[in-house]
Amino acid sequence: MPAMGFCEWIAAGRAIAEGQLTRYGNKAHFTDEVEQELCQLTGAKHTLTVTSGTSALIAALAAAGIGPGDEVLVPAYTWMATAAAPVMVGAVPILVDINETLTIDPEDIERKITPYTRAIIPVHMGNAPCDMDAIMAIAQKHGLIVIEDACQSVGVRYKDHHLGAIGHLGAFSFNKMKNLNIGEGGAVLTSDDQFYARARSYHDLGAMIRGHEERYNQPDFVGTNMKVNEIQSAMLQVQLRRVQPMLDQMQKRRAMMASILSHSDDFVVTPHNDNDNAVSLTILAATREAAIELQGQRGVWSRLYDCSRHIYTNWEPILTQRTFHPKMNPWKWAKRDITYSPDMCTRTLDILQRTCVVNLGLKYPSFVMQKVAERIAA
């Protein structure tokens, strides 16, 4: 992730000095500018900044009209927010296995579709893109909405497109662990005018006082407050200038290290849905025990299975179908009985138990990481 530094401090100071901290006002401009810059980066027609990646997913679902009785397909490996967001609009998440690319499996998507399925949320975990060609084809075949969770992959490309701008809607996150880091924040992306108007209405209590904005024939409706402030947006502008150089460096380093690691007989480099644009590097061992042994080597981070918060078996509120009030429980509004169990996505568990993350070492010279890769491969 880009580091926070002096430039962000100066940008925040500028926003404070100008005296217009909210995004709406005669002097406000940072938020409008950064939304335009995100559109230019991704190719999306509209970008709406919000308070977090979770907020972006919820606003996107609300914009698409997803609600009670609807089922939303989400991968079994992701931050729990992906599964929680449908619950917040009254829908229920249906868990789908990942495949060896560490992203949602298109074949299991097909198996999990029911007459009540309304949307798919593919998640580009750790900068690894989903098979968006297959997913968009499935969505078109079944008349489904695709909302890309690109929270962990801002700036990354899939073939000729930026992640987050391929589906009907997309979600970005700008928290401290992401490619753009302002502590916390997010954005909704879409090229659909009406989805944009609905997302904007939802994120600002109906936006009934923003009469100067184009509504695209969409009426106001009751929403919530997800607005960002000018300080966040000023910092984000600084971060945006850093993301592409960082990703370019990651792409070169990944290509060099993956080439070396591919010669090992003890593991394989994790397959990727777009090798030409790959910026993430993980390795897949033949067994769980072999992956545990790899953890002790220099340059190999922990197994993905050990990052428990991203695995469905640890999403207790989802597995127990527990909400803040029993009468606000979407599972009771579902059109069929929905059940979860710890062993419902065993393929996902097996893959995560055998996968280790390789450190790209961007703070070190290339020749150092070359030696690290050679040592891992040996």
272-315 tens-digit pLDDT: 999 999 999 999 999 999 999 888 777 787 899 987 789 999 99
Q: What is the DSSP letter of 90?
A: T
Alpha helices in 143-229 (DSSP H): 193-202
Sign of dihedral through CA atoms 28, 32, 33, 35? positive
How are beta strands 186-190 and 46-50 bridged, if at all? antiparallel
Q: What is the mean pLDDT of residues 119-141?
A: 98
Q: What is the DSSP letter of 312?
A: G
CA distances to 94, 168, 194, 230, 244 from 71, in Å:
6, 17, 22, 36, 36
28-74 tens-digit pLDDT: 899 999 999 999 999 999 999 999 999 999 999 999 999 999 999 99
Q: How far is 196 from 156, CA to CA, in rounded Å?
A: 22
Name the catalytic one among 159, 176, 178, 371: 178
pLDDT at 212: 53
Q: How far is 235 from 150, CA to CA, in rounded Å?
A: 20
Residue 367 reports pLDDT greater than 80: yes
pLDDT at 10: 93
Residue 368 reports pLDDT greater than 80: yes
**Residue keyed to tokens 């509504």:** 215
Q: Hey, which residues does 170 pair with through a beta bridge?
A: 148, 189
Share of the chain above pLDDT 70, in %: 97
Residue 116 reports pLDDT greater than 70: yes
Q: Hey, which residues does 189 pair with through a beta bridge?
A: 47, 170
25 phi-psi bin (left φ>0, alpha ψ -120 to 50, beta other):
left
Residue 243 reports pLDDT greater than 60: yes
pLDDT band at 6 (very low <50, low <70, confident <90, very high): confident
178 tagged catalytic: yes
pLDDT at 240: 95
pLDDT band at 324 (very low <50, low <70, confident <90, very high): very high
Coil, helix or strand at residue 117: strand
303 in Cβ contact with 295 (< 8 Å):
yes
Q: What is the mean pLDDT of residues 117-142?
A: 98
pLDDT at 211: 55
Would you list the DSSP string of 315-368? -HHHHTT--SSGGG-GGGTSSS-----TTTTHHHHHHHHHEEEEP--TTS-HHH
172-197 tens-digit pLDDT: 999 988 999 999 999 999 999 999 99
Q: How far is 364 from 350, CA to CA, in rounded Å?
A: 32
In sequence order, what E strands does 174-213 have?
A: 186-190
Angle CA 18–23–29, to nearest 5: 55
Query: Angle of helix 53-63 relative to helix 193-202, nearest 10 degrees?
Result: 120
Q: How far is 246 from 239, CA to CA, in rounded Å?
A: 11
53 in Cβ contact with 33 (< 8 Å):
no
Q: What are the tokens at 33? A: 């500018």
Query: Angle of helix 230-261 relative to helix 366-377, nearest 10 degrees?
Result: 50
Radius of gyration of the chain (CA): 21
Structural domains in the chain, CATH included, are 6-240 (3.40.640.10), 243-308+345-377 (3.90.1150.10)
**Polymer length in residues for the chain:** 378
Residue 215 reports pLDDT greater than 60: yes
Share of the chain above pLDDT 90, in %: 85
Q: What are the tokens at 104? A: 């949602």
More confident residue, 90 or 213: 90
